[in-house]
């Protein structure tokens, strides 16, 4: 899963294409129309939800014959899971939308020319990862399965010890003191409050 700021890749030059000025000359086989930011945000959000709330849980609810064996918890817990899913999905969509508006390639892994520090990113450094982790808890809440805890645990480990550490290293390499100051002011997971004068997570 790509990290937050690493998604801010270089702007796709083909978005500057106009009628009669198709990238690659007259060879239409090399031209791929650019989806508007809203469309890319929806597609990315759908991918995140499908992976963490459908595909990965689906791999853990098969019986010995390979059939799906869904065992739902009580309906109040299912309602809670649905609410958690909506909240997590909204967080991913809004945060990814901010990156898309800044010219992000949402599935990219290379820092772009701009460090996004406004909007929700002025409150917390990893809102997309936070939203994704929230989504990962839905199956554990809704389904009665001895192994479903693996999904949220995998998300936490992935975004803290996996891609999280890689992200910080790449961002420091790309933005140096600018990112260091941003990291000092804004926490990775816990949203910043007006009472916070400064935060230093190292």
User: Alpha-carbon distance 140 to 138, whole Å?
Assistant: 5
The CATH label, of 1.10.3470, 1.20.120, 3.30.450, 3.40.50, for the domain at 5-10+36-185 is 1.20.120
User: Alpha-carbon distance 145 to 61, whole Å?
Assistant: 7
Q: What is the pLDDT along the chain (202 residues), one digit of tens a residue?
A: 555 555 444 334 344 444 444 444 444 445 454 555 688 899 999 999 999 999 999 999 876 666 777 889 999 999 999 999 999 999 999 999 888 887 767 776 666 678 889 999 999 999 999 999 999 999 999 999 889 999 999 999 999 888 888 888 888 988 899 999 999 999 988 887 766 654 555 4
User: Alpha-carbon distance 14 to 28, whole Å?
Assistant: 13
Q: What is the model's pTM?
A: 0.77
User: Alpha-carbon distance 70 to 83, whole Å?
Assistant: 19
């Amino acid at each position: 899963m790509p990290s937050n700021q690493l998604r801010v890749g270089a702007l796709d030059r083909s978005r500057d294409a106009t009628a009669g000025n198709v990238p690659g000359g007259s060879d239409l086989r090399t031209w791929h129309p650019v989806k508007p930011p809203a469309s890319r945000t929806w597609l990315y959000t759908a991918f995140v939800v499908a992976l963490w709330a459908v595909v990965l849980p689906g791999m853990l609810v098969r019986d010995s014959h390979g059939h799906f064996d869904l065992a739902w918890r009580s309906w109040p817990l299912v309602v809670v899971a649905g609410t958690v899913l909506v909240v997590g999905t909204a967080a991913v969509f809004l945060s990814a939308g901010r990156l898309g508006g800044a010219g992000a390639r949402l599935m990219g892994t290379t820092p772009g020319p701009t460090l996004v520090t406004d909007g929700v990113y002025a409150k917390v450094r990893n809102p997309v990862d936070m939203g994704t982790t929230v989504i990962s808890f839905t199956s554990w809440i809704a389904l009665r399965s001895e192994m479903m805890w693996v999904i949220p645990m995998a998300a936490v480990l992935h975004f803290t010890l996996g891609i999280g550490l890689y992200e910080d290293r790449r961002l420091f390499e790309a933005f140096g003191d600018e990112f260091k100051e941003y990291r000092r002011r804004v926490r990775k997971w816990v949203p910043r409050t007006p009472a916070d004068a400064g935060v230093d997570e190292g």
